[in-house]
Amino acid sequence: MRLSFSTKAFLAALLLFSQNLLAQQPVANGVEMADRLRADGKIWVVVAVIAAVFAGIIFYLIRLDRQIGKLEKEVKEKKTNYSL
């Protein structure tokens, strides 16, 4: 699917102008929830969970890439067998 220049320019303009909508006002006292988690020592639990989820996603993507590679190899072998 090829996009025309005008469509690309319009999408780029939307992206640039939407940045103001996503901006947040600074918090005077900091983030209360994060301060509480740090004080209780539970911030490391949050970090560990995020790291575990990230590692799981990376593992899944690597495994999926290997499976796709095997399928591509099989398809290529079948094409060469049929062309003979």
**CA-to-CA distance for 26 and 32, rounded, in angstroms?**
13
- Answer whether 0.85 is exceeded by the pTM: no
Q: What is the pLDDT of residues 1-27, one digit of tens each?
A: 677 888 888 888 888 877 666 556 665
The residue ranges of every structural domain in the chain are 41-84
Q: Which of 6-10, 28-32, 35-39 has the highest mean pLDDT?
A: 6-10
Annotate 50-66 with b (16+ C-beta within 10 A) or e (fewer).
eeeeeeeeeeeeeeeee
Looking at residue 22, its pLDDT comes to 54
Q: What is the pLDDT of residues 47-69, one digit of tens each?
A: 999 999 999 999 999 999 999 99
